[in-house]
Amino acid sequence: MTLEEELHVKKIREGTVIDHITAGSALSVLKILGLTGSGDNVVSIVMNVPSQTIGTKDIVKIEGRELSPDEVDRISLISPKATINIIRSYKVAEKQKTKMPNVIRGIVKCVNHSCISNSNEPVTQIFIVENEEPLRIRCHYCNRVMNKEDVIGQF
């Protein structure tokens, strides 16, 4: 991290730093994590800072909170180059790179109301990832194509 970025937000003691978020997606990350501002967690958001690897990026720092596997999977969909750093005692204890899966199971619903995956049948939602950025996923059952906005809308 460059000194310039370092100056934006101080280091945290315990919690999670989601770094290298696709610029403009920080608020969607907050939405995925259910962080509305009404809880007690201290949350810092940095938007549109220069990044050595991805042009510009957003960063979200959440004190006193770690992420569930489902939350990580959802973040991967809207920000496939994000890095999730678990901070303990001021140190990066774990670093996990998100990765866009080829197939998405169970975390996204089809927007087609008459799709079999929205009926009472016990079927797991399945989408094929056709393009990473901009996101384009196709329902395995009805072939409906969905984009990032469709996905964010249901988180």
The stretch among 24-32, 84-92, 102-110, 124-132 that binds ligand CTP (CB under 6 A) is 84-92
Buried b (16+ CB within 10 A) or exposed e, 80-93: bbbbbbbbeeeeee
Element (H, E) at 77: helix 69-78
Which is closer to ligand CTP, CB of 19 or CB of 71? 19
Which is closer to Zn ion, CB of 104 or CB of 110? 110
Q: Does 24 interact with ligand CTP (rule: CB under 6 A)? A: no
Which is closer to Zn ion, CB of 85 or CB of 141? 141
Distance of CA 54 to the CA centre of its chain: 16
Q: Does 17 interact with ligand CTP (rule: CB under 6 A)? A: yes
Which residue(s) pair with 84 in the sheet? Answer: 18, 96
Q: Which token pair is 132?
A: 């990473």
Determine if residue 46 is left, alpha or beta; phi over 0 gives left, psi from -120 to 50 gives alpha, anything else beta. beta
Partner in contact with 19, chosen from ligand CTP, Zn ion, none, beta carbon below 5 to 8 Å by kind: ligand CTP
The stretch among 31-39, 83-91, 101-109, 142-150 that binds ligand CTP (CB under 6 A) is 83-91
